[in-house]
Amino acid sequence: MSARAIGLALALLGCEELTAGTSHFPDQIDGGVADGGRREAGAGEADAGATSLVGRWVLFVEGPQCMSAIGTQVENLVWNFYLLDVLEEGDAGDGARALRERLKICRGELSPLVGGLRSTVPDTVADALEPRDTSAYVLGDDVGAPYLGSEFVDYWGMAAIGADAVPPTAVDDPRVTDADGDGEPGVTFVTTNGLGEPVCEVRVAQRTRVRVEGVREAPGRFAGVAAVRVDQSVLDATSPLCRAGADIVPSPTPGHFVMLRVDGRGGAPLNLDLDGDGQVECDELRSSLAVIEEMGAVNRSTPDNAACR
């Protein structure tokens, strides 16, 4: 009997390679279920009430950029996931609340360019960046209340040079730092091909300015538009393909953001405290990204290259 016949026989008998099933239990939110079933009071779409916003949130920002890649203009989407702590809230008058926030980036992703080429931001880069403080205002307590965030700036691989200064371009510029601790200047992105195989590494200094403005869509969710501007200089690369700098400018396509409460309190649609230690950390956020996206809690756009030409 041939090996193929034996394989076929085993397959018919159920000896084929096993695959794990998928859960038929819906995600459970604060004791209720996420598929339209029972929800606890406060988690619905009604008035939010004056529930404190102090707690842990996830901020998802999509920022479309235009850049040149292999001789053509393409749209490149920046997808950043942050853990956002609302540390304090104060009365700003007329029913508005002033929020003091602390942001920590946990995952940075970029959409594919041309020919399957894609820059990947290793999580070690995000892990190496310190949290930064910012502020925001919520103009009311109810669903529909405007949310206005102050601009915050992430500096990757360089000192805090300010919002308008030109990023350093030379490896030996004293403002360049080895932010991810890999022994190379700046931060290191890995460019992969369509098969996910590394093509080259590129060391960059990058400033990302983000400002968000939206409304409270539910007690545990804000959403709206995001203005994202990326200024990047290539310091070094392991191949000429990656050494060519890309002139990055914001795309005419508007960016957007979603802010979800994830500490299980105050109408949070999720509790990402997976290890039950009372904290939500970047590892817990990263391991939950697939679930967050499957729930439709955040949505990613498809690059529109025509918008950049």
Partner 1 sequence: MRRLALTLAATALAGPAHANLFDVFGAGARSQAMAGAVAALAGDAMAAFHNPAGLTESPSAFIVGVTGLFNRTSILLTPRPLGYDPKGYGANPSARADTVEPPGTAGALLGLSAHPFSEDLAVGVAAFVPFEGFASLNTHFADEREQAFSNRLHYELLGERLESEVITFALAWRLRSWLSMGLGLMILPGAKVTAPVYARSATDLTQVDINARVGTEFSRALTAGLQVQPFEQLRVGVAFQDEVRTRIHGRSEVQVRGDEEQGVVFQELDLVTAFSPLRATLGVAWVAEGGFTASLEGTYRAWSRYTDNHNESGGFDDTVDAKAALEWPVGERTFARAGVSFTPSPVPTQTGRTSYVDNDRVGFGFGAGRDLQVFGQDLTLDIAFQVQALLTEETRKARGAYPDCAPGVRALCDESPDLAEDTPLLSAAETRGLQTGSPGFPGYTHGGYLVAASVDLRWRF
Smallest distance from partner 1 to CB 243, Å: 42
What the block records as the tokens of 147 is 């949310």
Query: For partner 1, which residue of 2, 3, 5, 22 counts as binding (CB under 8 A)?
Result: 22
Query: For partner 1, which residue of 94, 164, 247, 277 counts as binding (CB under 8 A)?
Result: 277
Using the rule CB under 8 A, is 15 a contact of partner 1? yes
Q: Which amino acid is at 280?
A: V
Q: Which residues within the stretch 206-265 sit at the binding site for partner 1 (CB under 8 A)?
A: 264-265
**Residue owning tokens 């209720």:** 32
The total number of residues written for the chain in this structure: 309
Query: Which residue number, 20 or 166, has a Cβ lying nearer to partner 1?
Result: 20
Query: For partner 1, which residue of 23, 162, 164, 183 counts as binding (CB under 8 A)?
Result: 23
Query: Which residue number, 64 or 269, has a Cβ lying nearer to partner 1?
Result: 269
Using the rule CB under 8 A, is 274 a contact of partner 1? yes
Q: Which residues within the stretch 100-119 sit at the binding site for partner 1 (CB under 8 A)?
A: none
Query: Which residue number, 34 or 210, has a Cβ lying nearer to partner 1?
Result: 34
Is beta strand 28-29 parallel, antiparallel or unpaired with respect to 146-149?
Answer: unpaired
State the Cα–Cα distance between residues 110 and 118, nearest whole angstrom: 7
Query: For partner 1, which residue of 7, 31, 116, 194 counts as binding (CB under 8 A)?
Result: 31
Query: Buried b / exposed e across 156-184, counting CB within 10 Å, b at 16+?
Result: bbbeebeeeeebbeeeebeebbebbebeb
DSSP 155-203: EESB----SSSPPP-STT-TTB--TT-SSSSSEEEEEE-TTS-EEEEEE
Using the rule CB under 8 A, is 5 a contact of partner 1? no
Query: For partner 1, which residue of 4, 5, 21, 164 counts as binding (CB under 8 A)?
Result: 21
Using the rule CB under 8 A, is 44 a contact of partner 1? no
Using the rule CB under 8 A, is 288 a contact of partner 1? yes
Query: Which residue number, 34 or 67, has a Cβ lying nearer to partner 1?
Result: 34
Q: Please give the distance of CA 220 from its chain centroid, rounded to a whole number.
A: 18
Query: Which residue number, 32 or 44, has a Cβ lying nearer to partner 1?
Result: 32
Using the rule CB under 8 A, is 49 a contact of partner 1? no
Using the rule CB under 8 A, is 283 a contact of partner 1? no
State the Cα–Cα distance between residues 266 and 44, nearest whole angstrom: 11
State the Cα–Cα distance between residues 152 and 227, nearest whole angstrom: 11
Smallest distance from partner 1 to CB 301, Å: 25
Radius of gyration of the chain (CA): 22
Smallest distance from partner 1 to CB 131, Å: 22
Q: Please choose, from the candidates 73, 61, 65, the residue with its C-alpha nearest in 3D space to the C-alpha of residue 108.
A: 61
What the block records as the tokens of 278 is 């009372």
Query: For partner 1, which residue of 3, 5, 20, 195 counts as binding (CB under 8 A)?
Result: 20
Task: Return residues touching partner 1 (CB under 8 A).
Answer: 10, 13-16, 18-34, 40, 264-265, 270-271, 273-277, 288, 291
